[in-house]
Structure formats: structure tokens, C-alpha cells
A = this chain, B = another copy of it.
Amino acid sequence: MKTSPDDFVPAAGNGLLDRRVFLRAGAAGSLGLLAASAGAQERPAWAKLPGEGMGPAGAPSKHEAHIRRGHLSLQTGTTGSGASRTPLEFLDGIITPSRLHFERHHSGIPDIDPRLHKLVIHGLVRRPLEFDVDALVRYPAVSRIQFLECSGNSGVLTAAEPVQASCGSIHGLVSASEWGGVPLSVLLDEAGVEPRGKWLVADGADAAMMSRSVPLEKAMDDAIVALYQNGEPLRPANGYPMRLFLPGWEGNISVKWLRTIKVTDGPAMTRDETSKYSDLREDGSARLFTFPMGVKSVITSPSPGLTMRQRGVYQIAGIAWSGAGRIARVQISVDGGNSWADAALDEHVLPKCLTRFRAAWNWDGGPSVIMSRALDETGAIQPDRGSWFDGQSRGNFYHYNAVHAWQVGADGESTHVYV
């Protein structure tokens, strides 16, 4: 029985505790108030009368109405262009509820009639094919829990001064879902890709005519034509009735409202992979086709807006992910990077998925800077802010994955800082 934070083994400076606290026994030290009259607790009013009945669909609690997608950055002069972000600071685990999945549209959400929508596969194939939803659901399918991240996520960290906003408003262009559908390899095999076919161009049925080039190797590896998200048909905002899903790659290339796949001998150099979603370098050249999202971690709690009201033990929680595979390790610092200790990872550490990490911190009530850094199974390490900028052109904000920091003040409020 641990009764005081002093019983815990420290793991790094400023009160960070050993992650074995999470493995068993011990606790957060006296957070349970002693219940003098325990057992004699009176039944509250809501426990005395029958409650509300049930209906065809459930809803979140009215007490949690503040959990909504924030920071709707709508582009002036456009209809339906912009982004909405997942409120990461209020979520736990790895699944993002579909209603809170981030969105990034370039011309809003098309109102597609699923009975009329077709996917055409053509170009360098022996047999052009056309599929509707009814045909696709008859095909061998797969499902996997994986993240999707916009390559512009966290891009505001390229600003000269740290933007003050919630964790979700800064880092919430990432979400994770169970994605289900038909392996693209199955459909391409049926169409019969010709030897000259090395790329494909995917085109969406939105008015932005979103189109992106995909190397055939990725299409034949783990790409799917997704029909399901978190068990149910895709939401309109996520590509209903079908989208491309390319695990681990920048979100934009997982073309929503997928309508054509053209097999080609090279990339098409579309607007969306040249003027946008490419990385301008210091020397004036641009890196194109930088698809996989880098290894990254974000501390979701504590974070701006979540006040720590008293000193003592707190859980530090966050998410880590890598487009290259599984997360191998996450480390936490609560002294601005002077010392680090391993975080505990939740049971499900899935490839190309969010991984939930946690650490126990005995907060002494003083100002502290908290940070996390992730390592993936390929050995890639999340960079610090300084090295992320190496070679980048000023103004480039795609693929930002550097370590970030929150400063917890003596008032228990967190702010965004650069270290």
C-alpha cells in the first residue's frame, strides 16, 4: 500500500516517477479522499427515479458538450475549404470517435449518391474496370486500426513565437480509426497492370478535383479502397462512399470520394503535389513525394486549458505515431529536457497507428516544462525543434514532427513554449 508520493521511485528530474507505477500496484498517492462515513453514502436524486429510456442511436453526455472539433480554419472567400481539428486534449486511448475525426477539405464535402457513384480503374491495365459499392462489398476485405495525419499538422510551430492554443487546435490534424475495405492490390490484379505501369493517379469526386500520384509499390503493399470507418460506412466528411487509404502517408494522398484510378508510367505532377504538399528547401529546390509521416509524439494532458488544481501526482498522457511502423519507445522530460525517463505504452502498440503513452509525475507545484520524444521500430527518433529546421526554406510548414513543449505554471495552467 503506497500512501504517499514519497514512496515512489523517481525516474528523472523534477518529480517524474518510474513507469512501473503503471504496471501494477502503488497508485497516485492519496488522491482518494478518506471517506469517513463510507458505505453510508446517501443515494443521490438520480439514483432514486427511473432514468431516460433508449432509442435508435446514443449520444454523448450533455456535460461533455465542450468536446467538439475546434479551430475551424475556414479559408476566406471559399466554400467548405479549410480544416477542423480533433480535440486531442479531451480524448484518451487511441481511437478517435468518427464525429471528432479531423477534416481537411479543398472544396467542401460533395453530396454523393452512393447508388450512382462509380470507381473506374483504367490507364496501363489490360482490362479497365468499373465498380460500384454493391460490387466492392462482395470482395475480400481487410480492416486495420491506423492513424491519418494531414501533412500540415502542427505547422504553426514554424512560427517565430509559440502560438497559444489548445493541444487539439495545434496538433489536432491527426486522428486514428479502424479503416476497412478492399486491398487495392486485389482490384489492380484483376485489372492487370501492364509492365510499364509504375504509378497511379487517384482522383476524387469533389469540386476541387483533388488528384494525387501514388507509386505502384505502395498501392500493391497496404493501400485499400476504404468503405468503413470505425465499423460503420465512411462518414461523408471522410470520403463516403469510398476513399483511398494509404497507411502512414500524408493524409492528402488518401484521396476522398475516390472516383478514378489511372495507372501510368510516372507521376502526373498534379497541382496538389507540386504547388502544395511539397517541401521547399533552403536552396530553392522542392522535395516532392515525401509521403510517409515522420515519427512524432504529442502530450495531450496536461495541456493548455486543462488546469492542474493542486500539487501531487498527475498522469502525463499523450499519443505517439510513425508512418514507418510501430512506436518502440517514448521518453518524457518534466525539466525542459535536462533529464528523461521512459513512458509506459498502452497494450495495443499497432503499426502505423496512434500509440497511447503515459507517465506519472509528482508535481511540486512549481513551474515546469514538459516534453515527450518518440522512437519508432526503424530506429527513427523524433527531432528537436532546431534540427527540424535544418535545410528547410523559411515558410515551409509541411511534415512538422519536432518535439514540442508545454510549460506548466505555478498556477497550474499550461502554455506553449519553445525550448
A interface residues (Cβ-Cβ under 8 A, vs B): 1-3, 21-22, 24-28, 30-35, 38-39, 41, 43-44, 46-61, 63-64, 67-70, 72, 74, 78-84, 90-101, 103, 105, 107-114, 116-118, 120-123, 126-131, 134-145, 178, 180, 183, 185-187, 189-192, 205-207, 209, 227-228, 230-238, 240-241, 257, 259-260, 262, 301, 309, 312-315, 317, 344, 346-348, 350, 356, 358, 360
Contacts and interface: CB of A to CB of B under 8 A. Distances in A.
A282 B38 CA distance: 43
Contact of A237 (B34, B54, B127, B230): B54
A191 B32 contact: yes
Contacts of A32: 121, 129-131, 135, 187, 190-191
**Residue among A35, A91, A238 having the largest count of chain B Cβ atoms under 10 Å:** A35
A313 B136 CA distance: 11
A79 B183 CA distance: 47
Given A1-B190, A28-B138, A38-B122, A58 B180 contact: no
A50 B80 contact: yes
**Residue among A97, A134, A237 having the largest count of chain B Cβ atoms under 10 Å:** A97
A114 B69 contact: no
Copy tally for this chain in the complex stands at 2
Given A32-B131, A52-B108, A348 B144 contact: yes
A50 B110 CA distance: 7
B51 A240 contact: no
Nearest to A30: B190
Query: Nearest 6 CB-CB pairs, A to B?
Result: A32-B129, A51-B108, A38-B128, A56-B68, A38-B122, A93-B143
Given A1-B190, A35-B129, A90-B232, A24 B69 contact: no
A97 B139 contact: no
Contacts of A112: 44, 46
A57 B99 contact: yes
Given A61-B235, A207-B49, A26 B189 contact: yes
16 contacts: A34-B127, A39-B122, A47-B205, A47-B257, A47-B259, A50-B107, A52-B236, A54-B74, A54-B80, A54-B109, A57-B100, A58-B237, A59-B99, A92-B228, A97-B232, A142-B346
Given A26-B189, A47-B259, 10 more contacts: A52-B108, A52-B111, A58-B235, A92-B180, A93-B180, A94-B178, A137-B301, A138-B315, A140-B358, A142-B347
Given A31-B139, A68-B57, A315-B138, A92 B186 contact: no
Nearest to A205: B47
B185 A24 contact: yes
A46 B205 contact: yes
B92 A231 contact: yes
Contacts of A116: 44
A5 to B, nearest CB: 11
Contacts of A39: 120, 122-123, 128, 260, 262
A65 to B, nearest CB: 9
A93 B54 contact: no
Contacts of A58: 69, 98-101, 103, 235-238
A240 B46 CA distance: 13
Contacts of A2: 189-190
